[in-house]
Amino acid sequence: DIQMTQSPSSLSAFVGDRVTLTCRASQSIANYVNWYQLKPGTAPKLLIYAASTLQSGVPSTFSGSRSGTEYTLTITSLQPEDFATYYCQQTYSAPFTFGGGTKVEIK
Amino acid sequence: QVHLVQSGAEVKKPGASVKVSCKASGYSFTSHYLHWVRQAPGRGLEWMGIVSPSDGSTLFAQMFRGRVTMTRDTSTTTVHMELSSLTSEDTAVYFCARVVGAIPYYDVWGQGTLVTVSS
């Protein structure tokens, strides 16, 4: 199975900060990585697919990139509504594993 | 508009089974795979498996094999996920999600179904 190691597991930041979340895949998976935002009591929301494509309707403050087996989600200016938990997922091969999540909290 | 609407919350005793439904609307039901994902309290997202609405084929995560069944009903555009031999570790919110894209991703999710396993 492909492991997705997500870091950090949590972070505290101010509104307006730039934050970077990372997922490292245990093997090469091309660009088969997606990022989701999860808030309590709601379904996950797609932010980025295929490593770097912004989902329609998602603010341009979100971006995704890849370097080798490392995938990054960047939020350039944190907004109050961005405080949530973020997950990466690989869909290169089953089981389609998720990272452990990064909880972004208000400092 | 594409919608996935799931069945309501369930409370089950250990050892019992639960069946969660996911009704699709607003698109061609047989054109997209549906996946099931769960989130236990205080834990992350966990991928469970895939069902093909077209031919009913399935693929499950190893940890659920032998204990999970995923079926589809094309007449009602509904997929079902049944999990048996429940333990407290199965207490979670269960989601269905539609797959799209050459590089697969979930564009639409069900609202989630809370399954509580308690004696």
pLDDT per position as a tens digit, B25-40: 999 999 999 999 999 9
Query: For the stretch B83-114, what's the b/e string if a residue is b when 16 or more beta carbons lie within 10 angstroms of its beta carbon?
Result: beebeeebbbbbbbbbbbeebbbbbbbbebbb
Distance from CA of A84 to the nearest CA of B (A): 13
Which residues neighbour B42 within 8 Å (Cβ) at sequence distance 6 or greater?
none
Distances (CA, A) of A22 to A64, A92, B33: 10, 18, 28
> Does A94 contact B59 at a Cβ distance shorter than 8 Å?
yes
Q: Which residues of B touch A89 (CB under 8 A)?
A: 45, 47
Q: Residue A34: which of A15, A49, A20, A55 has the closest Cα?
A: A49
Out of B47, B61, B111, the one facing A43 most closely (by C-beta) is: B111
- At residue B93's C-alpha, the angle toward residues B118 and B117, to 5°, is 10
Taking CA–CA distances from B100, the nearest residue in chain A reads: A49
Which residues neighbour B83 within 8 Å (Cβ) at sequence distance 6 or greater?
B17, B18, B20, B64, B67, B68, B90, B115
Q: Could you count the other beta carbons within 10 Å of the beta carbon of residue B53? A: 21
User: Among the residues of A3-85, which ranges form H helices?
Assistant: none
Taking CA–CA distances from A55, the nearest residue in chain B reads: B107
Span A25-84, pLDDT tens digits? 999 999 999 999 999 999 999 999 999 999 999 999 999 999 999 999 999 999 999 999
Query: What integer best gives the mean pLDDT of chain B?
Result: 97
Q: Which residues of A touch B46 (CB under 8 A)?
A: 98
Q: Chain A: which residues have CB within 8 Å of chain B? A: 1, 30-32, 34, 36, 38, 42-44, 46, 49-50, 55, 87, 89, 91, 94-101
Span A2-29, pLDDT tens digits? 999 999 999 999 999 999 999 999 999 9
What are residue B36's DSSP bridge partners?
B49, B96
Handedness of CA B58, A86, B28, B73 (dihedral sign): positive
Interface probe, candidates B22, B60, B64, B106, chain A, greatest A C-beta count within 10 A: B106
Residue B12's pLDDT is what? 98
A76, A63 Cβ separation under 8 angstroms? yes
